[in-house]
Chains A and B, each alone.
Chain A
Amino acid sequence: MLIHLSSPHIHSGDSIRSQMMSVIWALIPAALVSVYIFGWLAVLQISSCMLACLATEWLTLKWMGRSTSPIGDASAALTGLLLALTLPALTPWWMTILGGIFAIGLGKQVYGGLGYNPFNPALSARIILLISFPLQMTTWIIPLHASLSGLNLYDVSLAWTLFTSGIAALPQAVDAMTMASPLGYVKTAWTQGIGANEALQTYHYSYLNAFIGREAGSLGETSALALLLGGIYLLARHTITWHIPFSFLATVAVLAATANTLDPNHYTPPLFHLLAGGLMLCVFFMATDPVSSPVTPVGQLVFGVGCGVITWSIRTWGGYPEGAMFAVVLMNCAVPLIDHYCRPKVYGQARKKA
C-alpha cells in the first residue's frame, strides 16, 4: 500500500504482454512465408511447438506452486514460435515437442522464470537439439521445388504423415527430396578443396532466392525479407533499439567483406553471409531478446560486435556451418560483464576510466 503513494502516478501503459505480443506480430511475416513454402507441415510444427512451450510453462509453474498467471504474458508462446521457426520442416514431432520442453523447462524455468534466464530459451533449446540430433537438425527439404518432385505439402494428410512418421515416410529416396543449406554446402565444398565461387555456382545459389526465401533452410529462416520486415516493425514500435541489429550485421558484413576482398575464392562474399542461414532471425529476434542482452546502448553495441565476430568466425573456421546461434548464446554469457563496464555516462560526472 505504501508503494502506491510513491510517484510517478501515471504510466505509459506498456506491459510485458504488449512487448511480447509485438515480437509475435513481428514474426508473422516469417511464419506466413514458412506456411507458404512448407504448407501444412509448417502449421503442424509451429502449433505443436507453441503448445509444448505453453504446456511446459503451465506445468512447471504448477509444480513449483507458483501463480500460473505468467502464462498470459505471451512469453512462452513467443518462445515456442521462435523455436519452431528455427527448426527444419522435417523435424520429427517428438523432437519438436522435446525442444519446447527444453526451451521452457531448461532454458527458462530452472533459472527462476521470466527475466532470470541468462540465455535465450529458444536458442538454448535449438542448440540442445542440434547437438543431440545433428542429422535431423540439418536435413532440409527442397523449398518450393517440393511440388515438382510430386511432394504436395498443401495436402493435409501427406503433411501429417511426414510430421508423425518423419523422413522414412517420404515416397522417394531421401536425397532427392532434401538438400544442404547454402552455408552447409559451401562448408562441405571447402573441405573437399572446392573454392567458394565454384561451390556457389554448382549450388545454383541466387541472392534473390535467398532474400525472398527460396533457398533451403529452417522453417522461418529462409526468407531474409520477411525477417527484415519484422525487424523494421520492432524498430518502429520501439520494442528493440537499432544498436544490436546494426552492430551485429555491420560486423559480419565488414569481416566478410574484408576477407572476401583479400581472397575471394576462399571466403564467401558479405551479402551471402547476411542472407544466409538464421542470421536475420538471430539478429532481430534472438540477439535482441531483452532478458539475455545488455541493458545499456554502449553495451548493446559491444554485444552486437561480439555476436558478429563469433558468427563469422564459426562460419569460416568452425565445425558447424552456421554460427549465429552459438554466437548469441556465447555473448549471452558475457552480458553481466558488459553491463557492468558499459554503463552510460552519468550527468555531470566525469567519464570513469574503465
Chain B
Amino acid sequence: MIKHFFKKLGFSSAPFAGGIQPDMQKWTESSAIEICPLPPLLIVPMKQHIGQACSSLVKVGDHVLRGQKIAKAEGYVSVPVHAPTSGKVIKIEEHAIPHPSGMGLASIFIEPDGLDERDTSLQPITDWQNMDVGALRERVRVCGIAGLGGAAFPTFIKLVQDQRNPIETVILNGIECEPFLTNDHRLMVEHSQEILHGMKIIMHMVGAKQGIIAIEDNKADAIQSMQDTVDDANIEGLNIHVRVLPTRYPQGSEKQLIEVIIGKQVPAGKLPMHVGVICQNIGTTKAIYEAVVLGYPLTERVMTVSGDAVPNKGNLLVRLGTSMRFIYAQRGLENFEGLQILHGGPMMGERLRHPDIPVIKSSTGLLALSQDFFKQAHAVEEPCIRCGHCSEACPIGLTPNLLADHCRNEQLEKAADYHLFDCIECGACSYVCPSHIPLVHYFRFGKGQAAQVRREQNFAEASRQRSESRDTRIQREKDEKAAKRKKVRATHAPTPTEAEQGKE
C-alpha cells in the first residue's frame, strides 16, 4: 500500500518492478534485412525447440526439397524439422548445437543443389477466416513453428481456445529489449503487412477481442510503420492498437510485458492464458502468416549480426542450419582470436566456444564482442557490499544477493523459500552488481543442484514403492493361500451365513 502511494506520487514511474536501462547499442537498426547466401553445407539439428527431439525421416543419399519434412515430432511438446533448401542428405550424425556446454545433437547434413526447389505439398490457405481453428493449429504445428524470440517453445500449443480460459488479448511483442538485437525492429519496418496479417490469424485462432502491438519508444520507425499499417487495416473495424512503451529491460519478458499491458500479473505456476492473454513474437507472427497464407514451413529466420568485432554489421535472412562461421565470414569476420561470440543478445544469450555451430529456430542474433566489452562483465568477483542494486533491478522482486548466498552454500530449501524458481535469469542483477558477482550463474547452479536432488529423491521414492509393492504382493499371495486353505476347510464347516446368524 505504501508502495502504491509512492507510485502515485511519481516516485516510481516504472510500470513493472525493477528493470535496468543498459546501453542499447542498436547499431543495426537502420540496416535493411539482407539475404544471406546459401552456404555449401547445411547442418540441421533434430531439435531446435523446447521439448522432445525429433526423429529422422530421411536417410543418407536422399534428395530433399525446401520445406520437406525431414524429421518428425516426437511427443506433444515438439514440432517437425524441415529441409532449409533442396539438396542431398550426405550424412546424419551428431554435431554441436548452440549451447554453452558445447554439447552435440543428431543432425542432418544437407548439401544444397543450388536450385532451392520448394516442396509444394502444403496448400496456401487464403480464406482462413472460414477455416476450422483446429486445422489452422495443425498447419502451424506441421510447419514447425516455434517461438522465434529465443525460447523456441512450440507455438501451436499456445494457439488454443479453451472455454475455461478465454483469451481476451493478443499481445504482439515488439519490445526487443536486448541490446544489439534489431531483427524484430527491422521486420516491423519492412514487413508490417505480413505481421498484421499474422496477428489477425492468431486473433482468429484464439478468439481474442483485442490485439495490442507493444513497441518500445526507441524504435520510432517501427512504431510509425506498424501504426500506418494498423490505421489502414482498422477500416475493417479491427480492434488492434499500437502501444508505445518506455525503453526498459527486461520489458520484452512475457510476464513483465503482460503486467505492463493489462496491469495484472500472471500468478505463479500459471500461464498467460490464465489471465486471458497470449504473447507472440514478431518473427513468429510473420512465420505463422507464411505457414498459413503461403503454405511455407519454417526454413529461415531473420537474425542480427552485430558486435564491435564484426566489420559489416547487419540484419540477415538466414536459412536454418547455416554455419555461424559462414555468416561471420559473409560479414567480414574470420579471425576469432580473443573474441567472445554470443548466440542471442548479451543479456540472456549463450556464449559459444567456437563458431562451427548451425543457426537454429531460436537464433535471434549473432554477436562478436572484443575484450573491451566483456572484460567488465567477467571481472573478478569481489565481496558483496549489500548495496541492494540487485534487488532494485530484479523485475521479479527477488533479493538476488541473499538468494545467491543460499545457492552458493547449497541451502536449497532456503533458496526455494527465497523464490529461486521464480527467477527468469534476465541478468539485470548481474549487470548492475558493483562487485561483479555472477548472480545468475549462482542461480543456475542452485536450480541444477535442486533438480539433481529431486531426481535422487524420485529414484529413492521409486525404489521404496517397488519394495513396498513387493511386500504387499508377497503378503497378498500369503493371504490368498491362507484363504484357499480356509475354503478347503470351509466345505466341511457351516456356511458363512449360518456362522453369522449364529453370532447374532
Query: Which residues of A does B touch, CB under 8 Å?
Result: 3-16, 18-19, 70, 73, 113-116, 241-242, 290-298, 300-301, 339, 343-350
Query: Which residues of B does A touch, CB under 8 Å?
Result: 2-3, 11, 17, 20, 22-23, 100, 179, 255, 259, 265-270, 340, 342, 346-351, 353, 369, 373-374, 376-379, 382-389, 391-392, 394-399, 401-402, 418-419, 422, 425, 427, 430-436, 438, 440-441, 444
* B-side contacts of A7, CB under 8 Å: 346-351, 425, 427, 430, 440
From B22, B267, B350, B373, A12 is in contact (CB under 8 Å) with B22
**In the assembled complex, how far is the CB of residue B43 from the closest CB belonging to chain A, in whole angstroms?**
22
Q: A114-B383, A348-B270 are in contact. Are A15 and B431 (CB under 8 A)?
A: no
Q: List 8 A-B contacts (CB under 8 A).
A: A8-B427, A9-B346, A10-B377, A12-B432, A16-B434, A19-B434, A113-B383, A347-B268
From A11, A344, A347, B391 is in contact (CB under 8 Å) with A344
Assess the A11–B385 pair: CB atoms within 8 A. no
Assess the B385–A297 pair: CB atoms within 8 A. no
* A-side contacts of B385, CB under 8 Å: 16, 19, 114-115, 290-291
Q: Could you tell me the distance between the alpha carbons of A343 and B414 in the complex, rounded to whole angstroms?
A: 14
Q: Could you tell me the distance between the alpha carbons of A186 and B342 in the complex, rounded to whole angstroms?
A: 66
Assess the B440–A6 pair: CB atoms within 8 A. yes
Assess the B399–A8 pair: CB atoms within 8 A. no
**In the assembled complex, how far is the CB of residue B202 from the closest CB belonging to chain A, in whole angstroms?**
24
Residue of A12, A15, A350 with most chain B CB atoms under a 10 A cut-off = A12
Q: Could you tell me the distance between the alpha carbons of A3 and B441 in the complex, rounded to whole angstroms?
A: 7
Q: Could you tell me the distance between the alpha carbons of A344 and B369 in the complex, rounded to whole angstroms?
A: 36
| Besides A14-B433, A344-B397, 5 other A-B contacts (C-beta < 8 A) | A11-B433, A14-B432, A241-B392, A290-B387, A296-B399
Assess the A347–B438 pair: CB atoms within 8 A. no
Q: Is the interface of A mostly helix, strand, loop or mixed?
A: loop
Q: A7-B347, A113-B383, A242-B11 are in contact. Are A295 and B431 (CB under 8 A)?
A: no
Q: A4-B378, A7-B350, A10-B347 are in contact. Are A348 and B434 (CB under 8 A)?
A: no
* A-side contacts of B353, CB under 8 Å: 5
From B378, B388, B434, B440, A296 is in contact (CB under 8 Å) with B388
Q: Could you tell me the distance between the alpha carbons of A9 and B396 in the complex, rounded to whole angstroms?
A: 21
Assess the B349–A343 pair: CB atoms within 8 A. no
Rank and list the top 7 A-B pairs by shortest CB-CB distance, nearest first.
A8-B427, A115-B383, A6-B441, A290-B387, A344-B397, A11-B376, A348-B268
Assess the A6–B391 pair: CB atoms within 8 A. no
Assess the A347–B179 pair: CB atoms within 8 A. no
Q: A115-B385, A348-B265 are in contact. Are A8 and B434 (CB under 8 A)?
A: no
Q: Could you tell me the distance between the alpha carbons of A241 and B444 in the complex, rounded to whole angstroms?
A: 29
**In the assembled complex, how far is the CB of residue A181 from the closest CB belonging to chain B, in whole angstroms?**
32
From B376, B422, B425, B438, A348 is in contact (CB under 8 Å) with B422
Assess the B397–A347 pair: CB atoms within 8 A. yes
Q: Across the two chains, which residue of chain B brings its CB closest to A14?
A: B434
* B-side contacts of A295, CB under 8 Å: 386, 388, 391, 399, 401-402
Assess the B255–A347 pair: CB atoms within 8 A. yes
Q: A19-B434, A296-B399 are in contact. Are A9 and B379 (CB under 8 A)?
A: no
From A12, A70, A344, A348, B399 is in contact (CB under 8 Å) with A344
Assess the A8–B387 pair: CB atoms within 8 A. no
Q: Could you tell me the distance between the alpha carbons of A292 and B430 in the complex, rounded to whole angstroms?
A: 21
Residue of B23, B384, B436 with most chain A CB atoms under a 10 A cut-off = B384
Q: Could you tell me the distance between the alpha carbons of A181 and B479 in the complex, rounded to whole angstroms?
A: 93
* B-side contacts of A241, CB under 8 Å: 388, 392
Q: Could you tell me the distance between the alpha carbons of A343 and B419 in the complex, rounded to whole angstroms?
A: 11
Q: Across the two chains, which residue of chain A brings its CB closest to B394?
A: A344
Assess the A5–B418 pair: CB atoms within 8 A. no
Assess the A5–B387 pair: CB atoms within 8 A. no
Assess the A11–B444 pair: CB atoms within 8 A. no
Q: A7-B425, A9-B340 are in contact. Are A115 and B384 (CB under 8 A)?
A: yes
**In the assembled complex, how far is the CB of residue B408 from the closest CB belonging to chain A, in whole angstroms?**
12
From A6, A113, A116, A293, B438 is in contact (CB under 8 Å) with A6
Residue of B348, B387, B441 with most chain A CB atoms under a 10 A cut-off = B387
* A-side contacts of B22, CB under 8 Å: 10, 12
Assess the A343–B399 pair: CB atoms within 8 A. yes
Q: Could you tell me the distance between the alpha carbons of A350 and B422 in the complex, rounded to whole angstroms?
A: 13
**In the assembled complex, how far is the CB of residue A3 from the closest CB belonging to chain B, in whole angstroms?**
5
Q: A14-B432, A114-B383, A290-B385 are in contact. Are A8 and B440 (CB under 8 A)?
A: yes
Assess the B17–A347 pair: CB atoms within 8 A. yes
Q: Could you tell me the distance between the alpha carbons of A73 and B383 in the complex, rounded to whole angstroms?
A: 11
Assess the B389–A14 pair: CB atoms within 8 A. yes
* A-side contacts of B11, CB under 8 Å: 242
* A-side contacts of B259, CB under 8 Å: 347
Q: Could you tell me the distance between the alpha carbons of A344 and B397 in the complex, rounded to whole angstroms?
A: 5
Q: Could you tell me the distance between the alpha carbons of A204 and B492 in the complex, rounded to whole angstroms?
A: 119
Q: Could you tell me the distance between the alpha carbons of A13 and B431 in the complex, rounded to whole angstroms?
A: 8
Q: Could you tell me the distance between the alpha carbons of A344 and B265 in the complex, rounded to whole angstroms?
A: 15
* A-side contacts of B255, CB under 8 Å: 347-348
Q: Could you tell me the distance between the alpha carbons of A284 and B402 in the complex, rounded to whole angstroms?
A: 24
Assess the A10–B373 pair: CB atoms within 8 A. yes
Q: Could you tell me the distance between the alpha carbons of A117 and B493 in the complex, rounded to whole angstroms?
A: 86
Q: Could you tell me the distance between the alpha carbons of A296 and B347 in the complex, rounded to whole angstroms?
A: 24
From A12, A14, A292, A347, B265 is in contact (CB under 8 Å) with A347
Residue of A8, A301, A349 with most chain B CB atoms under a 10 A cut-off = A8
Assess the A6–B100 pair: CB atoms within 8 A. yes
Residue of A11, A113, A350 with most chain B CB atoms under a 10 A cut-off = A11
From B100, B376, B389, B399, A10 is in contact (CB under 8 Å) with B376
